[in-house]
């Protein structure tokens, strides 16, 4: 059936049942929308971007030990993902399928998260192989992983069920991505960067471990309370099937859900990308993390303006085209920064002023595609979940999400261990004063945040060209879903 025939069929179904998914009413009220904004805000209200520095320079976990223990933690992660996803997808309660886990796990997860930041209080400056410290750290890592799996598995499915209207879903995603920046979601990262610079440059006589404890613990508490509020305020509105789908059905849904397979394959190929964040480059090479904050100021409005492009671009281009364009666009910019840094006898990357200009321009151009990146990537996953319901008659958010993440977690664990060993191989010495790494190490820190991720992850773009849901097919899919959902509610009521 051609795309035009698909679109006409979808339109006929919609008109026959007096249902227009793209013109339907909104389900999420003002109070719940505000809670949704604060939940999205809480996702980045943390200092997680400094977690590597915390492990390297404060907790001081030896690179080799870290590589081995990452494999152990990942093995447990894979095991608990499998049985937890089955539990979540088999759940049917009065308050919903996902909310029992989201509400019940948030408080213990917060407590355990805070304990992770308290390592310096108990172990001070012990060696990187001190056994009691390693036991403490990895014990809480395992416990925290188990609790967070329940919330992450449930949350990934929950966000696709709060409204059956795909246009409202886009509106919520766009609104959240646009406004949360002005709500200060990045403020902890900026403050932490300044504090690290003040400590490293001996402007203040504070212990770095104490700074991490206060900032890490307080942001974890605040963000968790906001997330908990959203879970209490929101509702699941997409009805689940009355029958609890079996594991066998779940596996079948995974393999028949072609969009999920493509997303998984793209991420799998992209996860071969070996990288380290710009944070390490700015601290170890340019000597000042706060420069990142200053460089972001000129481009800050670009990110906000970019969200106004989302609606017109979605009308003109398919999600597939925008997904591919965003990947190529950002890769070209990173390559340009690397080539600039390699000029002037291969030492330009160590020059503060020119490299600040280069990274500032990079942010300027990247922010123009910020809205497309944030909205399209999130909506493609939700669209894939709806595709599963359309094809199979039931939703398998938890099991499908875990299947998507399972092989990626194995791969990430292996590559995480490899990356730890790479840091050792390039000569990174833990605990050195700022700027004290040798020139070879500094070059590789620059390469690891610019060209290396592009080269090692280049194949991720191939599956994006195979995305099967055109704009016309999407119209047909949602028209038929509308009809099926109405029939389900009329015959059985909402199984929540």
Q: What is the pLDDT of residue 406?
A: 65
Q: Name the residue with tokens 């620059």.
A: 446
The model carries a pTM of 0.63
pLDDT, one tens digit for every residue, the chain (496 residues): 544 554 455 444 444 444 444 445 678 888 999 988 898 888 888 888 888 788 877 888 877 777 777 777 777 777 777 677 777 777 777 777 787 777 777 777 777 778 888 888 888 778 878 888 888 888 877 777 777 777 777 777 777 778 878 778 778 887 887 777 677 777 888 888 889 888 888 889 988 889 999 999 899 888 888 888 888 888 887 766 545 555 555 556 566 678 878 887 888 888 888 888 888 888 888 888 788 878 877 887 787 788 888 888 888 888 888 999 999 999 999 999 999 999 876 689 999 999 999 999 999 999 898 888 878 877 887 788 788 778 777 666 666 666 666 666 666 767 777 777 888 888 888 767 777 888 899 999 999 999 999 999 999 999 999 988 887 888 888 888 888 777 776 765 544 4
CB neighbour class for 297 (10 Å; exposed up to 12, middle 13-18, buried from 19): exposed
Q: Could you tell me if 89 and 152 are in contact, meaning their C-beta atoms sit under 8 angstroms apart?
A: no
Q: Could you tell me if 433 and 200 are in contact, meaning their C-beta atoms sit under 8 angstroms apart?
A: yes
C-alpha triplet 198, 219, 224: angle, nearest 5°: 170
Tell me the C-alpha distance between 47 and 66, whole Å.
20
Q: Which of 174, 466, 460 is nearest to 318 (CA)?
A: 466
Q: Which residues contact 126 (CB under 8 A, 6 or more apart)?
A: 60, 133
Q: Could you tell me if 53 and 196 are in contact, meaning their C-beta atoms sit under 8 angstroms apart?
A: yes
Tally of residues, the chain: 496
Q: Which of 223, 181, 182, 162 is nearest to 33 (CA)?
A: 162
Q: Name the residue with tokens 């890490």.
A: 216
Tell me the C-alpha distance between 152 and 81, whole Å.
10
Question: Both tokens of residue 329?
Answer: 């666009």
Total H helices, total E strands in the chain = 24, 0
């Amino acid at each position: 059936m051609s795309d035009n025939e698909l679109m006409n069929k979808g339109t006929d179904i919609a008109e026959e049942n007096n249902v227009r998914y793209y013109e339907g009413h909104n389900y999420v009220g003002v109070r719940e929308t505000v809670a949704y904004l604060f939940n999205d805000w809480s996702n980045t209200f943390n200092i997680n971007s400094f977690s590597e520095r915390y492990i390297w320079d404060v907790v001081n976990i030896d690179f080799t030990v870290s590589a081995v223990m990452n494999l152990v933690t990942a093995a447990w992660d894979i095991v608990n993902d499998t049985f937890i996803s089955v539990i979540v997808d088999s759940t049917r309660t009065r308050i919903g399928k996902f909310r029992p886990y989201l509400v019940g796990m948030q408080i213990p997860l917060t407590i355990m998260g805070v304990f992770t930041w308290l390592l310096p209080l108990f172990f001070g400056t012990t060696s990187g192989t001190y056994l009691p410290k390693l036991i403490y750290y990895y014990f809480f890592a395992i416990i925290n992983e188990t609790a967070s799996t329940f919330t992450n598995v449930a949350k990934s499915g929950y966000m696709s069920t709060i409204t059956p209207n795909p246009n409202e879903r886009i509106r919520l995603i766009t609104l959240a991505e646009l406004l949360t920046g002005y709500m200060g979601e990045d403020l902890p990262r900026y403050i932490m960067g300044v504090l690290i610079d003040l400590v490293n440059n001996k402007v203040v006589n504070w212990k770095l471990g104490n700074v991490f404890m206060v900032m890490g613990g307080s942001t974890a508490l605040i963000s968790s309370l906001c997330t908990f509020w959203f879970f209490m305020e929101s509702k699941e509105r997409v009805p689940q099937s009355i029958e609890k789908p079996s594991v066998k059905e779940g596996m079948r849904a995974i393999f028949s859900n072609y969009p999920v397979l493509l997303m998984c394959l793209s991420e799998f190929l992209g996860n071969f990308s070996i990288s380290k964040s710009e944070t390490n480059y700015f601290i170890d090479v340019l000597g000042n993390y706060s420069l990142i904050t200053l460089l972001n100021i000129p481009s800050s409005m670009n990110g906000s303006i970019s969200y106004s492009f989302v609606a017109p671009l979605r009308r003109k281009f398919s999600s597939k085209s925008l997904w591919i364009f965003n990947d190529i666009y950002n890769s070209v910019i990173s390559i340009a920064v690397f080539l600039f840094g390699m000029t002037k006898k291969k030492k330009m990357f160590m020059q503060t002023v020119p490299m600040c200009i280069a990274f500032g321009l990079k942010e300027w151009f990247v922010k123009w595609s910020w809205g497309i990146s944030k909205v399209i990537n999130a909506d493609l996953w939700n669209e894939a979940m709806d595709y599963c319901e359309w094809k199979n008659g039931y939703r398998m958010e938890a099991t499908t999400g875990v299947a998507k993440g399972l092989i990626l977690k194995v791969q990430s664990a292996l590559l995480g261990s490899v990356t730890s060993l790479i840091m050792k191989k390039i000569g990174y010495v833990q605990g050195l004063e700022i700027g004290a790494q040798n020139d070879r190490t500094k070059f590789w820190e620059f390469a690891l945040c610019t060209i290396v991720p592009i080269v090692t992850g280049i194949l991720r773009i191939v599956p994006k060209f195979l995305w099967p849901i055109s704009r016309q097919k999407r119209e047909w899919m949602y028209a038929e879903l509308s009809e099926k959902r109405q029939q389900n509610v009329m015959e059985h009521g909402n199984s929540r």
